[in-house]
Amino acid sequence: MSSAPDDVLQLLRQRGQAPDPDALRSLMRGVAAAPEGLAGPEWVELVAPTADPVLTKALVAWRDILAQTDDGLTASPAPLSRLAALREELKRRGLDGFVIPRADEHQGEYVPRGSQRLAWLTGFSGSAGLAIVLADRAAIFVDGRYTLAVQAQVDTSAFVPHQIPEQSPDAWIAANLSKGGRLGFDPWLQTVDGHDRFARACERAGGTFVPVDSNPVDAIWPGRPPAPLAPVQPHPDEFAGESSESKRQRIGTTVKAKGADVALITAPDSIAWLLNVRGGDVPRTPFALGFALLHADGHVDLYMDRRKVPARTLAWLGNAVTLAPPEELGAALDMLGKIGKRVLVETATVPVWAADRLQAAGVSLVRDADPVALPKACKNPIELEGIRNAHRRDGVAISRFLEWLASESTRRPLREIEVSERLQALRQETGKLRDLSFDTISGAGPNGAIVHYHASTATERILEPGSLYLVDSGGQYRDGTTDITRTVAIGTPTPEMRDRFTRVLKGHIALAMARFPVGTTGSQLDALARYALWQVGLDYDHGTGHGVGAYLSVHEGPHRISKVASSVALQPGMIVSNEPGYYKTGAYGIRIENLVAVREAVIEGADRRYLEFETLTLAPIDLACIEVSLLTDAERQWLNDYHRRVRQVVGPQLDDGSRAWLEHATQPL
């Protein structure tokens, strides 16, 4: 293929643009490496700021062709020739092994296709994992969620699967690396904390942990996609609620107070929130990949590919934000050393590459949490109002969906994928949906018991009478990110299902009603959501709640509600999910998830400041699944009050038929 299609070049020339064909193709390959989303081809702005429909259509057609180019990522298991080629490459470089983590430079939940080295090399597509390749053996490490997937996706004769944390990569390295062995790693992909563990393991084996200049996987990956290029757009004050200027000043002061002059920010959601911009480089999450240096005086050096930043966004960023190519980050870190600056880094996420470069430049590091994470988590009143609006809107889509499901499932057999597509379509009918906030989990019967289930034509089941159907889904709206799980009885549920559902609901309500003193962490509250299940010897193997961004990541920190000890107290404005569940393998899954916001509790005579949760999500909880005798009066009251709110807020937005169904679905118990 030529570097750019003639029709596109001609259309551009007709409109007075004279693009360099190679540069244009490079730009379009970046565009094609970004996910498509549901908001239309806004990326056209990057190619032609004022494209008409004809040009747009031609560009979209080209993008679609580029996006279909085989990058080798769909091969599962991956051909063993890749492993052989990597071993050849390692030998050439004088390395005895190499570590291939799932993570990219930003240590986020999603990584762009060109960074999915673990998936390309092994076929494993899970969201966490790690392979280690030695000359004569290789291992892949995944957690309990993926023990089945790894068997299905990976050639386990070549990559021996290990389950973390029971079997640790550290121990494997210590046992398998030969004395004097050189185990390579990509310092962009290894965090400082992670590196130190692995380096010690190499030491125990009598070997060394060796950084490479360039990733050997990239050298042997033909058709590897370039970095994604999705347009970076302003996130206006009407949603952000605080100017970037104000945020930068405020957090610059924090950086100063921590004893640093500059903070290196590597989390793209932190950058998006700090600069009031949104992007689209990875699926389901509206941020742009890049790095930032936040100076104590509030100015920011942003390291990001200029091609994805339209002129209007450059203007929006203002003159206290300078834009530079990512390749210049290294020189900037060197300069910080020359002028004697102290730099704050978060060792749990910062790449070894950056920390080493800083230390080589003589910079003293201040090790602390990403200073943006906590302010970002505490939503301001404008953000909160946007989030409430997003939930009111989302609640209409969910309620219409539940009504459709209730009636349609009595008429014909429904399958998981068509059901989740129906839900997406109803969300799109709001006219405001930018994207889903994650891939919908649509699980009928036994599939509902698989916590991270993803329906495919091979696995999907029919929603059968007498079964439970679990649907966990969410939307990205400019004013907020939603995440809701409902579990619905198809036909008549068994008494056991109702008992379990009601215990999950009791946990949900205990948390929803909880008031707690300032200073309380999510770890302290977690047991409230499990107590009713624990009493009958049941539990669920996931956290009870995760933070949620404001039109950002559906999973964000630094707070959470889980068994794992946390030092981060819940604070007013934090959004967190309330999602206890119960899963009976091979039978059914139950989860009841609402998002809640932490707010001040107004309690007369309180002995100190107390907080409580405001429930944001508005959609019926299936009354058919509830065993009323298990509820206390207070719990029943909470449910009735909640359902009244749903009726009052969602009802007026429905047509008469749907409203009648909602009245019925939310009737008081």
Among 88, 237, 421, 539, binds a second copy (CB under 8 A): 539
The strand pair at 182-185 and 138-143 is best described as unpaired
Q: Report if residue 517 touches a second copy, rule: CB under 8 A.
A: yes
Among 397, 510, 548, 561, binds a second copy (CB under 8 A): 510
Pick the piece of the chain touching a second copy (CB under 8 A) from 271-279, 331-339, 407-415, 526-534.
Answer: 526-534
Q: Report if residue 314 touches a second copy, rule: CB under 8 A.
A: no
Using omega within 30 degrees of 0 as the cis cutoff, is the peptide bond preceding 165 cis? yes
Q: Which CB, 213 or 604, lies closer to a second copy?
A: 604
Nearest to 46 by CA among 23, 16, 14: 23
Q: Report if residue 39 touches a second copy, rule: CB under 8 A.
A: no
Angle at alpha carbon of residue 296, lines to 295 and 298, rounded to 5°:
70
Residue 408: CB atoms within 10 A of its CB come to 15
- Could you give the CA distance from residue 49 to residue 353 in angstroms, rounded to a whole number? 36
Nearest to 294 by CA among 251, 331, 334, 244: 251
Among 513, 623, 624, 649, binds a second copy (CB under 8 A): 513
Q: Report if residue 632 touches a second copy, rule: CB under 8 A.
A: yes
Q: Report if residue 60 touches a second copy, rule: CB under 8 A.
A: no
**Considering the complex, what minimum distance in angstroms separates the CB of residue 567 from a second copy?**
7
Q: Report if residue 538 touches a second copy, rule: CB under 8 A.
A: yes
**Considering the complex, what minimum distance in angstroms separates the CB of residue 508 from a second copy?**
15
Q: Report if residue 348 touches a second copy, rule: CB under 8 A.
A: no
The residue assigned the tokens 């004569």 is 136
Q: Report if residue 367 touches a second copy, rule: CB under 8 A.
A: no
Nearest to 96 by CA among 178, 166, 163: 178
Q: How many CA atoms lie within 13 A of 55 on its CB side?
A: 20
Residues 541-570 that bind a second copy (CB under 8 A): 563, 565-567
Helix (H, G, I), strand (E, B) or coil at 303: strand
Say how far residue 529 (Cα) sits from the centre of its chain.
24
β strands within 124-268, DSSP E: 130-134, 138-143, 160-164, 182-185, 208-211, 233-234, 262-265
Q: Report if residue 534 touches a second copy, rule: CB under 8 A.
A: yes
- Could you give the CA distance from residue 517 to residue 521 in angstroms, rounded to a whole number? 10
Residues 601-630 that bind a second copy (CB under 8 A): 601, 603-608, 610
Nearest to 99 by CA among 245, 202, 243, 251: 202
**Considering the complex, what minimum distance in angstroms separates the CB of residue 528 from a second copy?**
6
Among 528, 619, 626, 662, binds a second copy (CB under 8 A): 528
Among 76, 178, 359, 524, binds a second copy (CB under 8 A): 524
- Could you give the CA distance from residue 323 to residue 314 in angstroms, rounded to a whole number? 8
Q: Which CB, 266 or 523, lies closer to a second copy?
A: 523
**Considering the complex, what minimum distance in angstroms separates the CB of residue 513 from a second copy?**
7
Q: How many residues of this chain bind a second copy (CB under 8 A)?
A: 35
Q: Please provide the distance, in angstroms rounded to a whole number, between the alpha carbons at the two ends of the chain.
A: 66
Among 185, 209, 516, 661, binds a second copy (CB under 8 A): 516
Enumerate binding residues for a second copy (CB under 8 A): 510, 513-517, 519-521, 523-528, 531, 534-539, 563, 565-567, 601, 603-608, 610, 632
